[in-house]
Amino acid sequence: MENELKDAKEKISELEVENSELEEKLSNVQHFDQDGSVGNGYSDNAVNYTGQVIETNIDGEFEGWDGDTIFKMMNGSIWQQASYAYTYHYAYMPDVIIYLKNGMYFMKVEGVEDELQVSRLR
């Protein structure tokens, strides 16, 4: 029992350090501003962009979206287009940010002007 308690305390300590490191990284996250440039936050139409985003890359070729496109990301997550739109843009493993805005997730792909509403499948 004593060893289990010791192991649990060590794990808690490790998790506290990891949490602290992740909070530091999150505070430094940059994202696309309204004009498509990268910035540290802005406010538009009462929507605050706080830097709380997922940064990843599309796994493989990207050719835009066309209605119900599914996107596999390098971080293992899978997202699906949640609003109808059509955009064509070819890129290989482009940078992607996914962020929460007004209770919905949106995706911004490097080189594409439009943002896209998405939902997480996995």
Per-residue confidence band for 43, with pLDDT thresholds at 50, 70 and 90: very low
Domain count, the chain: 1
Query: What pLDDT shows up at residue 26?
Result: 65
Q: Can you tell me the distance from the alpha carbon of 122 to that of 72, in angstroms, rounded to the nearest whole number?
A: 9
Query: What pLDDT shows up at residue 30?
Result: 54
Q: How many residues does the chain have?
A: 122
Q: Can you tell me the distance from the alpha carbon of 5 to that of 72, in angstroms, rounded to the nearest whole number?
A: 40
Query: What pLDDT shows up at residue 28?
Result: 61
User: Which residue range is the domain that position 7 belongs to?
Assistant: 2-120
What pTM was computed for the model?
0.58
Which residues have CB under 8 Å from 8's CB, separation 6+? none
